Amino acid sequence: MMTMQNHTETVHTDPPVTIDSAHLDYLQRMASAAMTRTPEVASRLQYEIDRAEVVPSRQMPPNVVTIGSQVSFRDESTGRDQTVTLVLPPEADIAQRRVSILTPIGVALFGLAEGATISWETRTGEERELTVLCVTPPAEASADQEEASAV
């Protein structure tokens, strides 16, 4: 028998999420504003924000998906590997593999570290799992980290 899981039942199995504090207020406002247009995605984003560890930008691990990260992941249902860049909605362009954080896959990837696996639901309601294979931090974060390590 198949049972539906809700967010409270999956708390113990969901991998840790880390969020850059510089993005927190904007993401909370975006999730709230999106509740009327895309309530499922907005609700999932708010859930991820609520359970996240929030860290200062300089302490953001480079192997964690954040806005501007390039991320390679595997869809465990199909075995297909993909590489995308996670972006804010105005910058989304599927032809350029730029995925909005306000999409089911964007929310699923957001805040995950390399090696993490998470369940997510497609727009059609299909339950899938994805595994983060590799994260390349945003260009400005890489430059900041190099600058900090040179000091």
Q: What is the pLDDT of residues 57-104, one digit of tens each?
A: 999 999 999 999 999 999 998 999 999 999 999 999 999 999 999 999
Residue 2 in domain: no
- Judged by DSSP in three states, 16 sits in coil
- Judged by DSSP in three states, 90 sits in helix
Residue 7 in domain: no
Residue 70 in domain: yes
Residue 4 in domain: no
State the CATH number of the domain containing residue 138: 3.10.50.30
Distance of alpha carbon 121 from its chain centroid, rounded? 13
Whole-angstrom distance between the N-terminal and C-terminal Cα of the chain?
58
Could you tell me the CA-to-CA distances from 148 to 58, 141, 145 in Å, in that order?
8, 10, 5
Residue 8 in domain: no
pLDDT of residue 125: 82
* Structural domains in the chain (count): 1
pTM for the model stands at: 0.81
Tell me which H or E stretch contains 26. helix 21-34
Which residues span the domain enclosing 96?
Answer: 15-150
Could you tell me the CA-to-CA distances from 104 to 40, 51, 140 in Å, in that order?
8, 17, 26
